[in-house]
Structure 1
Amino acid sequence: MDRTTKIDFNCDLGEGLNNEHLLMPYISSCNIACGGHAGSPQIIDKVISLALSHNVKIGVHPSYPDKENFGRVVLEMTDLELQGSLKNQLQLFKERAAMQDATIHHVKPHGALYNLIAVDEEKATLVSKVVQQVFEDVKLYVPFNSKIEKVAKDFGIEIVYEAFADRNYNDDLTLVSRSEPNATITDKEKVVAHVKRMFHESKVKTVQDNEREMKADTFCLHGDNEKAIEILKNLHREFLSY
């Protein structure tokens, strides 16, 4: 990202919280659930329409087909089963977007799948193949220094480095498990400090109190963060001139 331009904030949307209309004015890209962990054709249509009206870049947010666990558990599936599910999710979204003549900007896997492809080259390859099967030209949101970053580049898929504004990191740049009490950052000023360090210094302070290199072109704020609206408004004020 050109550091002279506005900082890019994204949110995971269409996940059943019905807060998209509150979040949309403060973000510049979004990731819309497509039926795996959440979402339906009707919700997809609604969120795409909102994104178009706010000039927000539209992304697909596929996951393990697991609404019970909100896509946050690695399922025991064969590669063929996972490939089929992801392809169906992406195809559904592609069809709904076409109905509104909406451009799909990117794909960002969700939850357990996102974390898995960061460290598992085989699953990263599977996801990259599915993306290329469904889309001719989309970007892929990926964590810095991950397996999916390297695999996607080999596939010729344009990557966008993503970091999390409201999540803490370990020394190996994995996200702190949601089972830990310090996984999520809910204090708006701590979120600002977290983002500023990554944006200006390309570094992140880990929960082990070390600094690690971190590249980020877009910063995610989870829509289900209990302070999401308050945090986003504060980020918007802090970075308005960027």
Structure 2
Amino acid sequence: MDVPELTPDEIQARVLHRDGLMLVIDKPAGLPVHRGPKGGANLEASFDALRFGLPRPPVLAHRLDRDTSGCLVLGRHRKATASLGMLFKYGKIGKTYWAVVEGGPAEDEGSIDLPLGRLNEERGWWQKPDPAGQPAVSNWKVLGRGDGLSWLALEPVTGRTHQLRVHAAAMGWPIVGDNIYGNGPRLGEPRLHLHSREIVVPLSRNKDPVRVVAPVPAHLHERLRACGWREE
């Protein structure tokens, strides 16, 4: 479900937060953040429309998978981007994702501590549980249940590639629409049900952290409602 590049107006309409140091934008599902080796539509191609008076476009401070939607942080200049990079590296930024998973955990909250490694050389980004891999920890909490599904809040303590997707699948409750680690289109759902719902950035020592919430995208509405979510 690839989506086309955003026009200047479209990407400006997706700005959730803007200050002198950073932007937080609402990334659409299906659009990669980077230009791929074969080219194609990507989010970075639209960043020039986000300069807002600065000489250079903003730069990605972290990444989201192509099929994940929601809060994405951009640094507005080199020094800010470096500061944000350190905050992400050392786990100082709070990240909460919403996911709809098949089945779900028996308990109401818990933690997954499962190291991850690369699946193989050909699939460079793909991951698998690997006792000899990098440490990976995710906290989770059930927000609702229904229709054989669960609505979870997921907090990645570490920031491994595809971490939440692999962890959920390894626990036996894959994320709806995950065509790599889950059952993908078997449920008739081509879209991954994983959304970067909230980000908390402690950017200034003498100010409260910046807290940004991304609206729930349309493709999650039906299954979230089945789990008890009420539209905002």
Output the TM-score relative to the length of structure 1. 0.30
- Of structures 1 and 2, the larger Rg is shown by 2
- The structure that is helix-richer by fraction is 1
- The structure that is strand-richer by fraction is 2
Output the TM-score relative to the length of structure 2. 0.31
